[in-house]
Structures are given as C-alpha cells and as structure tokens.
C-alpha cells in the first residue's frame, strides 16, 4: 500500500524528466548520457498496487552524451542499433511501496530486441501544484544492468589490459509526472 494521494493517472513530462545512463570509459572516468522520452505514462492505485501500471518508450535516435561522434556510434549496430531497434521500452509488471518514500517498480525492459526483467528502486520526491495549476509528482532512482544481457557486446581492449567500456551500465531516472486523472 502506498500513499493514497498518489492514486491517479500520470503522463511523464519529458521537459522536466531525465532517463539517463552512465558507463565507465577506460575504467577511469564516467560518461553520462540521456535518451529522450517518446511516451511515458503511469497509473498508480494505492488501494490495489498490483493494478498499477507504468509504460515508457525512449527514442534511441535522440541519444545524447555531449559528443556527436560517440552519439552516432551508440546509434550503430555496435551498440543500440537504432535503425533496427528505434525504441527502448519498459512495461511494469509489479509496483511495490517498500515504505516511507521508497518504491520498487519491476518490469520488462526491452533494449535492442532483447527483453529482460529489471527492478528499479525509486524514491518519491514530492508533490506540487505547478504554475498552470497541474498536480506534479516526482520520483528519482537508479539501477544497474549488464549491457551484454541485451546483446551489446562491443568493446576494445586497452594497452593497460582493461577495456574501453564497462559491462555494467547505471540507468538513472529523474521523473516529473503530471496527473491527468
């Protein structure tokens, strides 16, 4: 059971949300990026959390890391293969209120035509009425996946014996959702 004030239907606001990722480069630094939202909705039911739903579609062609050459490479078949798999999707199969402001959303994450179950811990960051009189809720969290589990195996061995890109990728979420019903 989670707070009853969260019950409702929401649309994720892409202008005030970030679906990001972080990978280690050359095992000495972190490279961060984001993938824009094509569509994202959530339906939360405090009385019956199992009836809650979350659906997210991310547009792979819009990936941004702050480096055009890297972004272009990430769109190729070496990584996300945007031509064959233009979207990353997530559909929740379970939403749990862990206690306090903590939630776990478990669902099917599809990247590059491979679907795996992942659990995303999220913290509820609050509710506010914005300047347009709309009710907004915020959540943030992160989880770690192994990119090889999704068929993303490209890498290069470094002279020092390490690899250029970490297998573990941290997915980062900063979400602002507008209540629509």
DSSP letters for 26-84: TTTEEEEEE--EEEEEEEE-SS-GGG-EEEEEEEGGG-B-S-HHHHHHHTSTTTT-TTT
161 confidence band (pLDDT: 50, 70, 90):
confident
Residue 103 buriedness (CB in 10 A; 0-12 / 13-18 / 19+): buried
Nearest to 79 by CA among 170, 153, 158: 153
Structural tokens at position 44:
């939360």
Nearest by Cα to 56 from 105, 5, 125, 7: 105
Task: Tell me what pLDDT residue 34 has.
Answer: 98
pLDDT at 43: 95
pLDDT classification of 171: cutoffs 50, 70, 90: very high
Percent of the chain with pLDDT over 90: 83
> Is the per-residue pLDDT at 1 higher than 80?
no
Q: What is the mean pLDDT of residues 144-170?
A: 93
The torsion defined by the Cα of 44, 14, 173 and 24, in degrees rounded to 10, comes to: 160
C-beta neighbour count of 111 within 10 angstroms:
24
Q: Is residue 178 a contact partner of residue 140, using CB atoms and an 8 Å limit?
A: no
Q: pLDDT by residue (tens digit) across 23-34?
A: 999 888 999 999
Tens digits of per-residue pLDDT, 26-61? 888 999 999 999 999 999 988 887 789 999 999 999
In whole angstroms, give the CA distance from residue 178 to residue 94.
21
Closest CA to 56 of 134, 116, 109, 112: 109
pLDDT at 70 over 90: yes
User: pLDDT at position 4, please?
Assistant: 80
Determine the average pLDDT of the residues in 49-76: 96
pLDDT for residue 46 = 81
pLDDT tens per residue, range 111-132: 999 999 999 999 999 999 999 9
Q: Quick one: pLDDT band at residue 2, thresholds 50, 70, 90?
A: low
């Amino acid at each position: 059971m989670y707070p009853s004030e969260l019950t409702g239907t929401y649309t994720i606001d892409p202008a005030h949300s970030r679906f990001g990722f972080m990978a280690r480069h050359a095992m000495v630094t972190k490279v961060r990026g984001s993938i824009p939202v094509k569509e994202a909705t959530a339906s939360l039911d405090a009385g019956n959390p199992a009836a809650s739903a979350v659906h997210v579609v991310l547009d792979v062609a819009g990936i941004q890391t702050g480096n055009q050459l890297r972004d272009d490479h990430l769109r190729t078949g070496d990584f996300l293969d945007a031509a064959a798999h233009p979207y990353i999707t997530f559909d929740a199969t379970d939403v749990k209120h862990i206690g306090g402001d903590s939630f776990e959303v478990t669902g099917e994450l599809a990247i590059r035509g491979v679907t795996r179950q992942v659990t995303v811990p999220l913290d509820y960051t609050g509710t506010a009425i914005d300047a347009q009189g709309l009710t907004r809720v915020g959540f943030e969290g992160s989880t770690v996946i192994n990119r090889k589990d999704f068929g993303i195996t490209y890498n290069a061995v470094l002279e020092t014996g390490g690899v250029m890109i970490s297998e573990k990728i941290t997915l980062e979420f900063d979400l602002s959702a507008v209540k629509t019903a």
